[in-house]
Amino acid sequence: MLLIMPLFCLTVSAKDFVVVIDAGHGGHDSGAVGKRGKEKNINLTVALKVGKLIEQNCKGVKVIYTRKKDVFVTLDGRARIANNAKADLFISIHTNSVAKGRTVKGTETYTLGLHRTADNLEVAKRENSVILIEDNYQQRYAGFNPNSSESYIIFELVQDKDMKKSVRLATLVQNQFKNSAKRVDRGVHQAGFLVLRETYMPSVLIELGYISTPEEENYLLSNAGSSSLATSIYKAFVNYKREHDAEAKGEENNQTAEVADPVIIADPTPAVSQATTNETPVQSNKKIETTAKSSQPVFMVQFYIASKKLPANSSAFKGLSPVSHYVENGSYKYTYGADTNYNKVLQSMSQVKKKFKDAFMIAFKDGKKINLQEAINEFKNQKK
């Protein structure tokens, strides 16, 4: 039975605060397996308890679950749920494990970012490996290989507009695990989790403990243990929400219709040698859905992401015009300078970076987004 905590959320506007709670793994994906239990079940138990506490005590907060029963949901499907809901917060709940022969205890919370240690990378590899049992994962994740260290280079260049908020929530979670649940504090870390990369809001991935350690597995499987962990996450959420409300109240007179700066992931692909030219970059004024239906790769510079469609003269574009957009995972992604000539778009990107330093290049073919390196290779082959 869940205890109702004497902690309540504040509400400063009519708009619901939306939190998405993600119970990792599920269905035919058991996650880490211990001697008695499975990660997928531990994750779901804690996730449902956290959601119930929020629903009972936080007026004005809408709780959305990526799953409420033992079903399989793809990593990008989980992110899509959060993005389509225009969530304010994404909390992914997992259980850790290490190889036989090692005994590790404690909780840790991750945000998206660099692999500061080899252990961080191993945790990311394990959690990301779920894509290998998804249909068409190579197309779905643009050739990403969760077991290849080289695939993680993209995370070395992540520019996350929500990093500060994500780290703050992660810190609050770890403080509660340490002080309220009396768990071993393994700290806040960064690593390349695909489920966090695809979300467009502050987000954390929580590792509740080590199912591979018998003492911790017993705790994780107990009602007292799962309730204590859930209560800790709930308390951290309440503290985060209070800070969020206080900040929102202080800024309510300065709010505008524009969205905040976008989540940008810088493109790590080495640039093709740029031909010497004085030509002006081609600027397509057609919508991307039309322009990108070429049988040849169409390159363009992506510079902005928004949760809604913006007018062509939006001040968010900082005078950049004309722009195009496409819709992906419930978000509007804005582009500039579409052309089949890679070198021309490369020139356009240098201009865009003066206004949006983290702009990067993407490519479409036959109306579908394709791997950039493959598009560059095709462009180079056409020139031979």
Q: Rounded distance, CA 365 to CA 293, Å?
A: 6
Q: In the structure, what pLDDT confidence band is assigned to residue 114 with cuts at 50, 70 and 90?
A: low
Please tell me the predicted confidence (pLDDT) of residue 333. 87
Average of per-residue pLDDT across 340-345? 87
Q: Name which residue leads in pLDDT, 6 or 69.
A: 69
Q: In the structure, what pLDDT confidence band is assigned to residue 16 with cuts at 50, 70 and 90?
A: confident
Question: What tens digit of pLDDT does each residue of 128-176 get?
Answer: 566 665 666 555 655 556 566 555 544 444 445 567 888 899 999 999 9
Tell me which residue has tokens 């778009």.
345
DSSP 323-356: -EEEEETTEEEEEEEEES-HHHHHHHHHHHTTT-
Decide yes or no: CATH 3.10.20.740 for domain 264-383.
no
Please tell me the predicted confidence (pLDDT) of residue 24. 93
DSSP reduced 3-state for 22: strand
Please tell me the predicted confidence (pLDDT) of residue 179. 95
DSSP reduced 3-state for 219: helix
What count of other Cβ atoms lies within 10 Å of the Cβ of residue 359?
24
Please tell me the predicted confidence (pLDDT) of residue 262. 29
DSSP 269-314: SPPPPPPP--PPPP---S-HHHHTT-SS-EEEEEEEEESS---TT-
Strands 107-112 and 298-306: unpaired
Q: Rounded distance, CA 352 to CA 337, Å?
A: 9
Q: Rounded distance, CA 187 to CA 185, Å?
A: 5
Q: Is residue 371 a contact partner of residue 268, using CB atoms and an 8 Å limit?
A: no
pLDDT for 35 beyond 90: yes
pTM of the model: 0.58
Q: Parse the chain into domains and list their residue ranges.
A: 17-253, 264-383
What does the block give as tokens for 205? 């991935």
Q: Is residue 335 a contact partner of residue 298, using CB atoms and an 8 Å limit?
A: no
Fold match between 17-253 and 264-383?
A: no
At 161, which helix (H) or strand (E)? none
The matching CATH number, chosen from 3.20.20.70, 3.30.1370.60, 1.10.10.10, 3.40.630.40, for 17-253 is: 3.40.630.40
Please tell me the predicted confidence (pLDDT) of residue 6. 47
Helix residue ranges, H only, the chain = 39-57, 75-84, 118-128, 137-140, 163-179, 194-197, 214-221, 223-251, 288-291, 342-352, 372-383
* Helices 223-251 & 39-57 angle (0-180, nearest 10): 50
